[in-house]
Amino acid sequence: MQPQRQQKPDVSVVVIGYDDEANITDAVRSALAQGAAVREVVAVDDCSTDGTFEALTHLAETEPRLRVIRRETNSGGCGSPRNTGIDAVTSSYVMFLDSDDVLPPGAVDALLRAAREERAEVVSGLCVRRELPSGREVLWQDSLYRESAVLERPAQLPALVHDTLCVNKLYRTDFLRERSIRFPEGRFRYEDFVFTARVLAAGPRMALIPDRVYVWHVRRSAEQLSISLDRGDIGNWQARAEASRQAYDILLSAGQKELARAARAKFLDHELRMYVRELDLRDAEYRRAWWTHTREYLGEYDAADWTVNQTAPGRLLARVILASPEPRDLPRLKELAARPTRLCPPYARDRDGTPVWADDLPQLTLEPFLTRPAHQLPLAVDAELHPGARVTALRLRLHELYGRVAPAGPRELAVEWRHRERGLTRRTATVALTPSADGTWAAETAVDLAGLGAGTWDLRLHVRFADGTTREMTAHARTGPGLLRRRVVPSLLHGVLLVQPYATHSGALAVRMATGPRGVTSVLRGRLRRLFR
């Protein structure tokens, strides 16, 4: 953040909450702590049934900048209370904050300074997703915020449609009111999608800043999951598709054809890939309903939606779904939806030798892959981890892909392990790739599990080709007999290790480890408690 300067009170922060007594005062305090630039915090309680309203009114007794509004009935969503806030604020600028999140120090100053200096109607900054309780942070759409930028109109940067959040932005209040830009009312999931589309459709002058302006708390173990995390029922997917449809229609109706096209591409690249990675976790009834609904939605796409970047993973996923009346190839689709993407065997061809998705789908050609550079292909590597008392072996096998890999000359694999909670990266080896008789390339290396330590570690690989180019990738976890089972391994450093290789939601190899007798005992006790619930 830039050094803070005293600014004229000109910002209202709208905080919304429902039955969130445990967190809402922290959210409000983070807004009040922004300093003199915040004229008021308007806290809208959506008719909570716990102590949320009482906690807010108690805080307001000692905070003159805090106004508390209690809605008479619960709206069932986030849009209505935010609209209540828009109607109530008295400042020139407004921003939104959810009750379970916080504003980092200096956020309002950075946003307001850009709004004034650049005469911007909307200023957008960097949001950080913070996993709780681990504290691990992931930057949201950080490619948009690597440096400051000013846009006379959003269409200058179509990638803006990927940032559907409303909370990491400062809006000129008159801009929202004069253009009648509001959130969908009532129980409407993914209301941010529609609101953000309305903002972009209005064509505001925008400023983008690299400052951290919002901390989005992700609580995966919460009793009541947030809308974005609660994806287990088909209604969630239907709501997400409907919000995406409305966003597209809003942009198209406003004449923002480029943004509308980008919104459709974003659905394929983000929404579709995310839900496909989780399909095998759902039951057969969900999968059939999801498949049917997705085919209906994708049927609305026109020819131009499929012509750009035909090798993009989301487009290939969508084409497979459209070509198949019933769910199929879920394990392979899950690998294709991974980040980075993996196109796993089998590699079928039609009668003319053209690459196709499958023998029974010859019309679904993969011919564009024949012209992409090898280091941009969705290559697949199989991985096996064999924990042992003396040596833990990691065995890797790189697959050929329609004859493109061998001419590129794959030379070696660099092996990295990334700690999921702490964000550490440890490169442990660089190993040569050896051609095999079956047309693949093999590599093997020892892994010092004790040196990695406790926690969850994700395997990442970098394959290097003869011309010096590299491809970063994850590895498909082999699932043969005994490969993904928990093992207790003796360790000179820790005494004992509990090692659990497993496949992530996207099918990639990862490993969980507990160290020492206490760590191992804690894991085993937790497992027993779950078994006997």
Question: Cβ atoms within 10 A of the Cβ of 193, count?
Answer: 29
- Look at residue 266 and tell me whether its pLDDT is greater than 50: yes
Task: Give the chain's domains with CATH numbers.
Answer: 11-218 (3.90.550.10), 234-371 (no CATH), 376-531 (2.60.40)
- For residue 512, the SS3 value is strand
Range scoring the smallest mean pLDDT among 74-83, 364-373, 454-463: 364-373
Widest pairwise Cα distance in the chain? 78
Calculate mean pLDDT across residues 307-334. Answer: 92
What are the residues facing 70 on neighbouring strands?
45
Q: Which helix (H) or strand (E) holds 266?
A: helix 257-266
Average pLDDT, the chain: 92
Calculate mean pLDDT across residues 88-116. Answer: 97
Residues 6+ apart with CB under 8 A from 87: none
- For residue 68, the SS3 value is strand
Q: How far apart are the C-alpha atoms of 344 and 253, rounded to whole Å? A: 40
Alpha-carbon Rg for the chain, nearest whole angstrom, is 26
- Phi/psi of residue 222, nearest 5 degrees: -65, 150
**Residue 33: C-alpha distances to residues 86, 98, 171 (Å):** 21, 16, 20
Q: Enter the DSSP assignment of 271.
A: I
Q: Which two tokens stand for residue 369?
A: 């892959």
Give me the percent of the chain exceeding a pLDDT of 70. Answer: 95
User: What percent of the chain is helix, strand and coil (3-state, nearest 5)?
Assistant: 35, 25, 40
Calculate mean pLDDT across residues 416-438. Answer: 91
What one-character-per-residue DSSP string does 420-468 give? Answer: TTT--EEEEEEEE-EE-TTS-EEEEEE--HHHH-SEEEEEEEEEEETTS
Q: Enter the DSSP assignment of 102.
A: B
Contact assessment for residue 150 and residue 205, using Cβ atoms and an 8 Å cutoff: yes
Question: Cβ atoms within 10 A of the Cβ of 176, count?
Answer: 23
Calculate mean pLDDT across residues 251-280. Answer: 95
What one-character-per-residue DSSP string does 284-348 give? Answer: HHHHHHHHHHHHHHHTT--THHHHSSTT-HHHHHHHHHHH-SS---HHHHHHHTSSS---PSP-E
Q: What is the pLDDT of residues 187-232, one digit of tens each?
A: 999 999 999 999 999 999 999 999 999 999 998 665 554 555 577 7
Q: What is the pLDDT of residues 135-164, one digit of tens each?
A: 888 899 999 999 999 999 999 999 999 999
Model pLDDT, residue 8: 77
Q: What is the pLDDT of residues 162-172, one digit of tens each?
A: 999 999 999 99
**Residue 183: C-alpha distances to residues 27, 218, 499 (Å):** 21, 23, 48
- Look at residue 478 and tell me whether its pLDDT is greater than 60: yes
State the amino acid at position 412 in one-letter form: E
Model pLDDT, residue 532: 53
**Residue 11: C-alpha distances to residues 115, 223, 375, 436, 450 (Å):** 11, 34, 48, 65, 52
Model pLDDT, residue 525: 67
Model pLDDT, residue 221: 60
Nearest to 410 by CA among 423, 425, 424, 400: 400
Calculate mean pLDDT across residues 439-444. Answer: 96
Residues 6+ apart with CB under 8 A from 217: 23, 100, 101, 102, 130, 132
Calculate mean pLDDT across residues 330-346. Answer: 94
Nearest to 168 by CA among 135, 205, 122, 130: 122
Q: Enter the DSSP assignment of 272.
A: I
Model pLDDT, residue 482: 84
- Look at residue 474 and tell me whether its pLDDT is greater than 60: yes
Model pLDDT, residue 526: 64
Contact assessment for residue 499 and residue 482, using Cβ atoms and an 8 Å cutoff: no
Model pLDDT, residue 523: 66
Q: What is the pLDDT of residues 500-519, one digit of tens each?
A: 999 998 999 999 999 888 87
Contact assessment for residue 399 and residue 380, using Cβ atoms and an 8 Å cutoff: yes
Give residue 113's Cα distance to chain centre. Answer: 29
What's the count of helices (H) and strands (E) in the chain, helices before strands?
16, 23
Q: What is the reported pTM? A: 0.90
Calculate mean pLDDT across residues 370-389. Answer: 92
Q: Which two tokens stand for residue 521?
A: 């005992």
Q: Enter the DSSP assignment of 264.
A: H
Model pLDDT, residue 2: 47
